Each structure stands twice: as structure tokens, then as C-alpha cells.
A and B are shown apart, each in its own frame.
Chain A
Amino acid sequence: MNTLMDIRQELQTLASSAPAIIAATTTTAELADAEAAITGKRSPIAMARRGLGKIDPEQRRDVGILIKQVADALQHDIDQRRNELTESEETAALAADAVDMTLPGRAPVVGTHHVIQQVIDEIVDIFVALGFTVARGPEIETSFYNFTALNIPDTHPSRLESDTMYVDFGDADEGVLLRTHTSPMQARYMEQHDPPVYVVVPGKVFRADPLDPTHSPVFHQVEGLAVDTNITFGDLKGTLEMFAKQFLGKDTEVKFIPHYFPFTEPSAEMHAFSNGRWLELLGCGMVNPAVFENVGYDPSAVTGFAFGMGVERMAMVRHGIQDLRHLLENDARVLRQFV
């Protein structure tokens, strides 16, 4: 006969004995059995709930509250224990799935951009940020654009076959050749565009130099040209110094020393102080009025500066490359370093 006293008694007994039973379970299966015994259909709590109807209605509410308190407290213990057991059982199961964490990872293969292309892109981007655009031109070129339009006289030694590679194409008298610099695009670009002109020209160039640690018959240059109504040598200096600071670091010191190129006057070489020594970085100068005349610009109306730099040289300076041939042999051990 379930009396009020009996129900209270049983609940108190359960509340004091069940936590130890729950804590004593060692597997989720044991816990499930224990849970059935404590809160299941035949558990004292279920019995108490079923007996609630027979209780004096005045007491029923208090007893109901007591049942809920005991049931909630035990369910909390059970859930907590279940979490503990689930995690420890998962951990035990994962031990069999362990990986030697000192093994190398399974890395996807990622290719590299050639360092020459990287340096070209970087140089180009610096000038694009200064408001220049980009043009590219033919690698097989006429001697007119490669030499004559650039004020290089017919008798200049660079035209000789000891310096320039010619190809068997077209008018032999004119001379069709592998361009020896990117400068022909100065003339081509000015012929095709009215001033103002702000352009850089990256590309391959060719010289009859046998391969050795510092020479290659094929290498790369980036040419630059700025022509406007008010371009001065001061613009050349400031702009190229800015380039050097962007490319080599903002504390880079530069100096301009007079030099000679037929297509610029005055001409200069820019040297930069890098890694403890002065390096010849590029050639530059104010566009020679003869070049303006050759492309149909009025040299009394516009002025301009031009520059050209060797990309391999820039890459060698930047990356500590002593032998140019490393850039040319496509050795997998080298290319993978071009990250």
C-alpha cells in the first residue's frame, strides 16, 4: 500500500543511493541499465508518479514537486556520467586510429612561377601604381626599330654580328634580328600613341653572348618610357629612386652617375646601395631629341625619360644567385625554390 510516507521514504532512499550507482558505471551500456533502473518504467520514480493520483489532493502538489526534484537531480547525474563515458569510450576507440604525428604531411603539389616572371610582375606593378601602363612587342625585330629609330648609327659596333643575332627573314638589306633590348618598343609605342606616354615594356632580349655565369644569349629586360610636356631629369631621378625603394626597401640609397646611350641624353646609370655594396641597377636618361624626331614627336614640345633594367640581374641581386645558368636550366631543384 503506497502511502504518502512510503513515497517520500522511497524517493529519499533513491536520492541518496542512486548517485553512487551512476558513478559506479564504467560503460555507456552499464549506464543505460542503471538509467532504466533509476528513471525507467519500473523505477521508484515511475512508481511514485503513478501513485500520485491516490494521494490526498492537498499533499499532491508538494509530492509532485519532490518527485520532480529527485528525478531532475538524478537525470543530471546520469547525463553528466553519459558525457564522461561517451568521451572516454571515443578516446579509447581513437587510440587505434592514431597517426605518427612526426610523419610528413600529405601536401598537395603547388607549382611555382619562374622567378624571372615574378620579378617582371613586381617591377611592372610598381610602375603601374605610379600611373604607367604596360605594352609588349615583337622579339624578332627590324634593325630600324632596334637601332636606327633609337639614334644608333649605322656604324655602331652593336649592329655587328658579333653582338647581334640576325635571322633569315624578309629584306636582307634591312636586317631582321632578335631584338637586343626592349628599347625598340619606345619607338613603336610612340609611333602608335600620341603623348603623354607612361609605359613599361617587359620582355625577352637576345645578344650573341655565349652562356657563362654572368651572360646568356637570352635574357629579360623591363623598359620604361615617360613622355609629357614637362618631364625633366628631376622626374627621372625621383621616379627611379622611388622604384628602388619599392623594390629593394625604403631605406635604399641610390646615386645617378653619368653614362652614355645613343637614345638618351643626358644618360645615367642608377646605382643602389644594397647588402653593403653599390650595385649598378639600371640605365636611364632623357629621351634623345633625335628619337622624338624619328617617331614624329616634336622635341621642342615634349620631353621624356626612358630606362631599362635587366631582370636577371635584379633577381640575382635579390635572391643571392651567383650563376645566371641556374635561372636557365629548369632544374626541378631550382624551380621549386621559386616560391
Chain B
Amino acid sequence: MKFPLSWLREFVDVPAMETAAIVDAFESLGHEVEEASPLEPEFSGVVIGKVLDIAPHPNADKVRVCQVDIGSEVAEIICGAWNFEAGAYVPVAVPGAVLGGDFVIAKREIRGLTSNGMICSEAELGLGDDSDGIMVLNTDYPQASESLGMDFASVVGLPDVFFDISITPNRPDCMSVVGLARELAARLDLPLKERSPRLEATADATPLTITIEDDRCPRFTVRTVRNITVGASPHWIRRRLSIAGMRPINNVVDASNYVMLELGHPSHAFDRQRLGDSIGVRRARDGETITTLDDLERTLVAEDIVVVDASDQAVSIGGVMGGASTEVHAESVEVVIESAMWYPPMILHSSKRLQLRSEASARFERGMDPNFCMTAADRVAELLVEHADGVAGSAYDVYPNPVEPLVIEYPLSETNRILGIDLDATTSIGYLEKLDFGVTGEDPLSVVVPTRRPDVKRPVDIVEELARLHGFAAIPGRVVSGTGGGLPPDVVAERKLRRVLTALGLSEAMTFAFIGPSDLDVLRLAPDDPRRDTIAVINPLREEEGVMRTTLLPGLIKAAAGNHARGFLDIAYFEIGKVFLRSDDVLPAQPDHLGFILTGERDADIGEQARGVDVRDGVGILERLGSATGASLTVAAANEGGFHPGRCGQVSIGGQIVGLVGELRPSVAAEAGLKGRVVMAEIALAPLLATVEPWRLVAPSSYPPVVFDLAFEIGKNVGAGNIVETIKDVTGPELESVSIFDVYSGDGIADGRVSVAVRITMRAADRTMTENEVTPMRKIMVEAVESRHDATLRGSV
């Protein structure tokens, strides 16, 4: 809501105060001030003059010589405008005046005569667009005649303050100057200067017939005005509309817009000759068309509502925009001013669907006061009588079910229960009456809610009004003490994972939860891969954000590829986030996944060769996560579309497959814009975090270990890691560690076989282990590895 302070002052006598104080006052009421800036005249030294006499210039045809009384003297001024006669009150820039900041007016010779100043146009004064003639003040500013020789700026209300206030959607009543004035008056404890329009009406010779066939128009009022002269509005109306962000059109349209801004209620003026003697409201027909005032043809649906003429032709989309066929034009002499109430949800849907959001629809969609329709129409008529030579005609009102104000029973205890402060009956009644609520009773109060306030429906809404007027700042604060519970185990565990991952050198990425369908093609997922069964976004912002992700891999690939494109190749990113999978429930399954991507080189140093990442970096990270969370995580060879067939593994936790780790196929990586080996992993988070019990300390043994090495020959495809698993499987708690320290093939090893050397550390918690004790254990390990993996021990036990 944009307006100058001077307009507000017509409704409340705001005392002289700092603009900041007015801003604070509005803000304390919940009306956020987007802008409050001074409106200064763009001129100085301009006074009000009266043209006494006009004579032709002896040496020029296009200018005239005017004798202008400027109070202190009668000045001779040469003027090129012809839109005034003797007797006109005009703004005069006297010598020394400055226009537009730097244009200094001086005495000037024009064809042999001296011009002692300049009579100014709107454009020259920065007060409007009109530069065709000078400003004539007699009609628009009649008070000018009492201020001869005085500063002109005060006549147009300058200096002033421009306000732009954002109105919350629950307060349609504040989408007007009077609405905000009512609020400010309540805050400042000043009276609101409201007045009813005064009309001397004479009945229409031919009455209008009004037919309302749709209950989504609960009230329809009309005032006719005859004998009008369509032309420009007075300067002050045009100027206020411009400040409010609306374009002046003509005195009829401007009057309607002016009243909407001033009083809040939108109205529409039809040309009576074009409309005929009948007006009605009905549901639109599917496919029905209407050309609206912006000269666009609109196709309607049955949910829309239209105003129709005598021939049942749509002449307006109710509450949204008028039609071109009945538009007021330069020769219009009689207008029909419609001021109705429209069902808000219908206005919302029609205006959104038609992409036709007007100042009117913005008000109707939030809800106007049905009991104010006639007043608004009459105020438009009043302006037309005053500024378009009009004569008020008949009033018409179709209002089958008048809306009664809501009465709310309000127990005073509710104030303390919700706000934590006590307000007594007198204080509470005082606050409510300032806001124009009617109040009777003491406790409970019977509060009569003005019908302009659709937001006030229950006692808690009264609490809000009391809190606003009392001031939120006056309510003392108190810090709650909750019932505890702290961080739930899953949050604790997830935070731990993040700490481990960052300590391992990975940074946390965040990618969008939606991907493009083609992102899954890049990964070469099989046609029947469940990850292809995506859930589509019905109204995506972009095609490449068209489906919900079923895997974190595409987002991570894009994150890394963006960096590769910028020349940053060494990437280690992880992401924890939801994927979205079809289910038979009300909602999709939305499990959290952990994914990571590694590219580029590691261990780069001055004068030393860096090494590229490979799949074992990925496996190592997963193993670290397993040991950090206590999950028994294992990796087994697997084949997965899009991944390197010899460098891809299935990840299991406690025997359950939870995801995969591998290097992308080089061609897949290249297609995705990635350089070098690309290691990726993705696992479901829940199994990893399943062990949520706090870890228990294992006291370190103070006894010495027994350390020995074993070397086995196994088939190339057996998987050396299985030897470790088997040794763990068959050895008791004395096994402290088993690790592979060499894998070798070539001389001395049969084709198709590899030698795997493992180092085994045994240590008991309560004794020094002896060779006699270890030997049988070693034998069991060897036999198990040999029998389970077709292995042979190299050397002897």
C-alpha cells in the first residue's frame, strides 16, 4: 500500500512527528513499512500568481505578454502556453527560482521584451507528465486564491512523506488509506475522521434491471451518475494515484481507483449507453470469451463469474477486470458504478488462472466488507459530481442475506493464559473500541466484530488485537525450560558420521533433491532397475529437476563435474540426504542415504609424485565408517551398470546388502564431464547407524603379543579379503588383528593364482600366550583358509 502522508492526514490528525516514529507505530501494529521517504518539491522560489491581463507580443505570434500579480508586485511575464485566460491562478517561478535541481530562472529577454519569470507546467515542476500547458490552479486547488504570492509548494502538499506499507493477507481492511489511518489513530489515541459521502440524487428516468443468479456474488450495489463530462482528473487526484503506483486514465476511472485506495473497496464504472438498461451476474460458460480492458481476449471457464448486459453478453469478469465493450470513453455521459462483494476463493482462482491480478482482485480475494459496498459506490459518485460535472442518479442494492457482525464472548482470563499478562476490563475495552469493535459486558466481554475484519473469528483473535494495542514490547519475556531428551540417538550417530567423514578429508556437499530423468541414463541403470521408478514433480521449475532422486549419485556427479569444469580436479565430497522410492503407503519411502565421490590425486607434494584415487580409497572410507559406528561392514565384488566391472563392490552390513562402492566406467565418467578415475559409493544410512548404543571400553591387555605371518596361494578371483574374514571367523578372542601386507603374482606363482601374505597378532587379556597355545590355533586358521578358498600355504606352519 503506497500513499503520501498528506492523504493519511485527511483521516487522522497525525501530529508533527519524526517519520521514524510513524514507522515504529505502524510496525508495532504489524504493518511493515517497506519504505518511508521524504517527498520534497523539485523546485524552489515558485509562488502563486494571478494573471491580471494578457496581451499579444508585439514581435512574436506564439507567445503572449501576461501581467501577473505575484503578491509583492505585478510582474510582466512572457508565456508560450495558451491554456489560460486572465483570472487564472498559476505557479510562477520568479527570478532566482530553481527548477529540477539546477535550472535557475532569471529575467530574460524574449523578442525585445523582458520576461520577469516563468509560468510553469506540471512537468516543469516535477508534478506530473503534462507539459502541454501551464498549471491552472483555480479548479484543482481553489485554496490558491487565498495564497497569492505565497510559496506554491504548500498548495500541492509538499513537502510530504511517501509510505509503502506491506499488508499481511489477513488484513484486507488495511489495503486502504482509511484502514491504515484507523490503525494509526488507535495507536496514537486520536479520533478517526471518517465521513459519509453526501449526494443529492435524482432518480433514473429508466431504472436499471438487476438480476443476480450466482450466490458467489452476495451483494451487488449500483449508483448511476448522469450528465458527466469525461476528461482529466484534478491534478491532486492524478498525483495521488501516481504516487500509489496507478496510472491516471480519466476522471471516471480515476474516481473509482481513488476510492479503492482511499476506502479500500474496488468498484467498476460501465458506460450506460453501451451497457443498456439491464445488468446481471451469472456463472461464466466454459469457453465463453470476453475482451478485457487491457484489450486481451480471455477465455473463461464455468468457475468464473461474469457481469452481463441486457443481451446476456459478458461485460466484466466479476471482481477481476472490466470488459472493453462497456468501457467509459471520451463521449460517455452516463455511467453505472458497480460496487459488489465477490466470494474470495473464486476471485483468487479466476485471477490466478487468467494471470490477471489487479488491485481489485487482490482486495476481493482477501475479502471485502459486504456492508461497505454502497458507501464506496456513493463516494465514487460524489467525486464524479465534484470533478466530472455529474448528477447522481438512483442507487440499487441486491443483498438478499445481509451479513451481521460476529459477536465473540471473551473471558478476560484468556489474556493471561495466552499472553502472560493481565489486562483489566477497562483497558481491554479501551483497546477494542479504538479499533472500532463494539464491546458490552465486563467479563466475559461481548465483542462485536466489524464486518470489515474477516480475520477476527475466535477469542484468540481478540487476544491478538489486545496484544497489538498493548504493544508486544510491553509483554515481559521468560525463558522456558523444556522437558529434556536431548539429541536423539540417530542425530548423535549422524553427527559422528559427519565428523569421521570430514576427518577423512571429505567435504559435505548439498545437492537438490530432484534430478532429471536423463541423469539415470548417464549411470546406465538397467531398464528394470528400481531406481528408474522415480516419482515425478508435477510442476517442476526446470525439466532437469523433473523427478525426485532415487539415488544420490547424479547430484554428486554434477557437483564434482562442476568443479572439474572449473579446473578443480581433486574432489572428495559426501552428502547425506533422502532418496524417494515408491511404496504402497500414503507417502513414498524416504530413507536417508550416504553417498560420496572421490576424484583426482592424493598426497601431492613438492617434488613427489601424487597418486590418483582408486576404488580402495572408497573401500577404506567405508571401513572407517564401519569401525566408527560399530557396524560389521564388508565389501564383495559386484557388477553394476555404469561402474568399472573389475572395480565395483557390493557393501553389506551384518550380511544385508546396503549399497555399493566402485569406480565409474571411464566412458561414463567422461560423459559426465569427469576426468580420471572416479570413485563413488552410496549406502543406506539406517543399517550403518543401527548400532546406537554408546561404545564400551575394551581395556588394553598388558601381556605381550605373539606375531606371525602366513602366506597363501589362492585363485585370482577368490578375493584376498576373504582370507581375513575366514581367519577372524575361526579364531577366538585372542586374535588382536589380521592384516594383508602383500599380494603378489608372477615368478614362482602358478598362472591364475596369487600369493597373499597376512600378519596375525594374537594377544590374551589375562596371560602371556605360549607357542604351545598358538600352534594349534595357527593350524586351525591354515586348514580353514585352505579348505574354504582352495588355498595352499606357502612355506610351513
The interface of chain A, by Cβ under 8 A from chain B, is: 103, 106, 108-114, 116-117, 121, 124, 127-128, 130-136, 138-142, 153-155, 157, 160-162, 165-171, 176, 178, 196, 198, 204, 206, 208-210, 217-218, 226, 228, 231-235, 237-239, 241-242, 255-260, 265-269, 286, 288-290, 303, 327-333, 335-336, 338
Contact = CB atoms under 8 A, between A and B. Distances in A.
A266 B480 contact: no
A239 B572 CA distance: 40
A260 B491 contact: no
Nearest to B508: A114
B418 interface: yes
A111 B506 contact: yes
A117 B419 CA distance: 34
List the 10 shortest-distance A-B pairs measured between CB atoms, nearest first.
A131-B482, A258-B30, A238-B477, A232-B420, A198-B482, A133-B485, A234-B420, A155-B345, A260-B168, A109-B505
Contact of A338 (B30, B417, B507): B507
Interface in B426-485: 455, 458, 460-461, 463-464, 467-468, 472-473, 475-485
Given A111-B508, A258-B467, A330-B559, A157 B348 contact: yes
Contacts of B517: none
Interface in B473-518: 473, 475-488, 491, 495, 498, 501-513
B498 to A, nearest CB: 6
A289 B460 contact: yes
A160 B483 contact: no
B389 interface: no
Contacts of B417: 232, 303
A328 B472 contact: no
Nearest to A229: B417
Interface of B: 27-30, 32, 168-171, 344-345, 348-349, 352, 365, 416-421, 455, 458, 460-461, 463-464, 467-468, 472-473, 475-488, 491, 495, 498, 501-513, 535-541, 545, 548, 559, 562-563, 566, 568, 571-574, 577-578, 580, 582, 586-588, 590, 602, 605-606
Contacts of B479: 130, 235, 238-239, 242
A260 B508 CA distance: 36
B472 A256 contact: yes
29 contacts: A103-B606, A109-B505, A111-B503, A114-B507, A127-B482, A131-B481, A132-B485, A134-B487, A134-B491, A140-B587, A140-B590, A142-B587, A155-B344, A157-B352, A166-B537, A166-B538, A218-B513, A233-B420, A235-B477, A235-B478, A235-B480, A238-B477, A238-B480, A239-B480, A259-B32, A265-B464, A290-B458, A330-B562, A333-B568
A82 B485 CA distance: 67
B29 to A, nearest CB: 6
B420 A235 contact: yes
A330 B563 contact: yes
Contact of A260 (B171, B506, B537, B586): B171
A170 B587 contact: yes
| SS class, residues of chain A in contact with chain B | mixed
B476 A234 contact: yes
Contacts of A135: 488
B570 to A, nearest CB: 8
B501 A111 contact: yes
A178 B541 CA distance: 13
A121 B497 CA distance: 14
B644 to A, nearest CB: 24
A320 B50 CA distance: 59
B572 A266 contact: no
B419 A233 contact: yes
A64 to B, nearest CB: 47
Contacts of B455: 260
Given A167-B548, A330-B510, 4 more contacts: A103-B606, A206-B513, A257-B472, A266-B460
A301 to B, nearest CB: 10
Nearest to A290: B458
B502 A113 contact: yes
A193 B462 CA distance: 29
A338 B538 CA distance: 35
A258 B472 contact: yes
Given A140-B580, A231-B480, A331 B352 contact: no
Contacts of A116: 510
Given A142-B587, A160-B352, A259 B30 contact: yes
A233 B539 contact: no
Contacts of A155: 344-345, 348-349
Contacts of B171: 260
A260 B480 contact: no
B482 A256 contact: no
Contacts of A157: 169, 348, 352, 365
B675 to A, nearest CB: 14
A83 B232 CA distance: 108
Contact of A130 (B345, B460, B482, B511): B482
A139 B588 CA distance: 10
B498 A217 contact: no
B30 A140 contact: no
Contact of B507 (A106, A178, A218, A336): A336
B539 A161 contact: yes
Nearest to B463: A266
A108 B605 CA distance: 11
A255 to B, nearest CB: 7
B535 A110 contact: no
Contacts of B345: 153-155
Contact of B487 (A108, A124, A238): A124
Given A265-B461, A335-B509, A226 B480 contact: yes
A237 B487 contact: no
Contacts of B536: 167-168
A162 B221 CA distance: 34
Q: From B349, B475, B590, B602, name the one whose CB has the most chain A CB atoms within 10 angstroms.
A: B475
A202 to B, nearest CB: 9
Contacts of B475: 233-234, 237
B510 A328 contact: yes
A110 B538 contact: no
B497 to A, nearest CB: 11
A228 B590 CA distance: 31
A234 B477 contact: yes
Contacts of B501: 111
A336 B344 CA distance: 51
A121 B168 CA distance: 32
Contacts of B535: 140, 167-169
B537 A167 contact: yes
B605 A234 contact: no
Nearest to A135: B488
B483 A196 contact: yes
Q: From B473, B505, B513, B562, name the one whose CB has the most chain A CB atoms within 10 angstroms.
A: B513
A239 to B, nearest CB: 5
A50 B485 CA distance: 85
A117 B477 CA distance: 29
Nearest to B538: A166
A302 B557 CA distance: 49
B477 A257 contact: no
Contacts of B491: 124, 134, 136
A126 B128 CA distance: 55
Contacts of A239: 477-480
Given A114-B510, A116-B510, A258-B30, A131 B480 contact: yes
Contacts of B27: 257
Contacts of B580: 139-140
B587 A141 contact: yes
A116 B418 CA distance: 34
A170 B583 CA distance: 9
Contacts of A121: 495
A23 to B, nearest CB: 44
A258 to B, nearest CB: 3
A332 B460 contact: no
Contacts of B587: 138, 140-142, 169-170, 176
A292 to B, nearest CB: 10
